[in-house]
Amino acid sequence: DSGVTQTPKHLITATGQRVTLRCSPRSGDLSVYWYQQSLDQGLQFLIQYYNGEERAKGNILERFSAQQFPDLHSELNLSSLELGDSALYFCASSVSPSREDIQYFGAGTRLSVL
């Protein structure tokens, strides 16, 4: 168990809908990362937060947004869902954004868009 908690484990929804994925980082970790794992694109970095502020953006669609709250949990919001958004979404956390700090991954949320 990495200590990173993601809910829900599975999510099934329809095209056009909006969903929210939740991540609780390890105790003491201030930095949160979101990654998407899909069959065609592999594992891709989406966005990073540190202590409530956005630090880096990757290949995140405009339909997707995220935030990190004062209690350090993070949410990834996906809207106007398309079939191609079906993927495994991972959250990872580290103590700080420093490269010396290892990223620990949660178990992921599997999103199925029908």
Partner 1 sequence: AQTVTQSQPEMSVQEAETVTLSCTYDTSESDYYLFWYKQPPSRQMILVIRQEAYKQQNATENRFSVNFQKAAKSFSLKISDSQLGDAAMYFCAYQIQGAQKLVFGQGTRLTINP
> Applying CB under 8 A, which residues contact partner 1?
2, 31, 33, 35, 42-45, 48, 55-56, 58, 88, 90, 92, 94, 97-99, 102-108, 110
Closest contact distance (angstroms) between CB of 42 and partner 1 is 5
d(C-alpha 77, C-alpha 68), whole Å:
12
Closest to partner 1 by CB, 14 or 28: 28
Closest to partner 1 by CB, 73 or 88: 88
- Neighbouring CB atoms inside 10 A of 68's CB total 23
Measuring CA to CA, which residue among 79, 71, 61 is closest to residue 19? Answer: 79
Closest to partner 1 by CB, 68 or 94: 94
Closest contact distance (angstroms) between CB of 51 and partner 1 is 14
Measuring CA to CA, which residue among 35, 6, 18 is closest to residue 78? Answer: 18
Token pair listed for 19:
């969903």
